[in-house]
Amino acid sequence: MIVKTSAAPPRTGPVRAALVLVAAGAVLVGAVLLSLVAGSRPTSPVEVWQVLLGEGDPHVTVVVESRFPRTLLGIVAGAALALSGTLMQGVTRNPLADPGLLGVNAGAAAAVVTATALLGPASTTATVWWALPGALLAGLAAHTVGTRGGDGGMVRLVLAGAVVSAVLMAYVQAVSLNMPDVFDSYRYWVVGSLAGRGYDVVLAVLPVVGAGTLLALLVMGSLNALALGEEAAVATGANVFLARSGGLLAGTVLAAGATAAVGPIAFVGLAVPHVVRGLVGVDFRLQVPFALLVGPSLLLVADVVGRTLVRPMELMVGVVTAFVGAPVLLYVVRKSRTGT
Mean pLDDT within 278-284: 87
Mean pLDDT of the chain: 85
The burial of 296, by beta-carbon neighbours within 10 Å (0-12 exposed, 13-18 middle, 19 or more buried), is given as buried
Instruction: List pLDDT tens digits, range 158-180.
Output: 888 899 999 999 999 999 889 88
Tens digits of per-residue pLDDT, 3-56?
444 444 445 677 888 898 899 999 999 999 999 998 877 788 888 888 888 887
Give me the percent of the chain exceeding a pLDDT of 70.
91
pLDDT at position 92 over 60:
yes
C-alpha triplet 96, 188, 249: angle, nearest 5°: 40
Which residue in 30, 1, 85 sits closest to 290, CA to CA?
A: 85
Give residue 239's region: left, alpha or beta (phi > 0; psi -120 to 50): beta
- Given a cut of 90, whether residue 215 has pLDDT beyond it is yes
Sign of CA dihedral 305, 77, 102, 231: positive
As a whole number, mean pLDDT of residues 283-304 equals 93
CB 99 within 8 A of CB 82: no
Going by pLDDT thresholds of 50, 70 and 90, the confidence category of residue 336 is low
Question: pLDDT tens digits for 302-319?
Answer: 999 998 888 878 888 988
- One-letter amino acid identity for 76? V
Reported as type and span, the H/E element at residue 8 is: none
pLDDT exceeds cutoff 70 at 261: yes
Separation of alpha carbons 160 and 145, rounded Å:
6
Q: Cα torsion at 280, 282, 283, 285 (round to 10°)?
A: 70
What's the topology of domain 14-338? ABC transporter involved in vitamin B12 uptake, BtuC (1.10.3470)
Residue 149 DSSP class? G
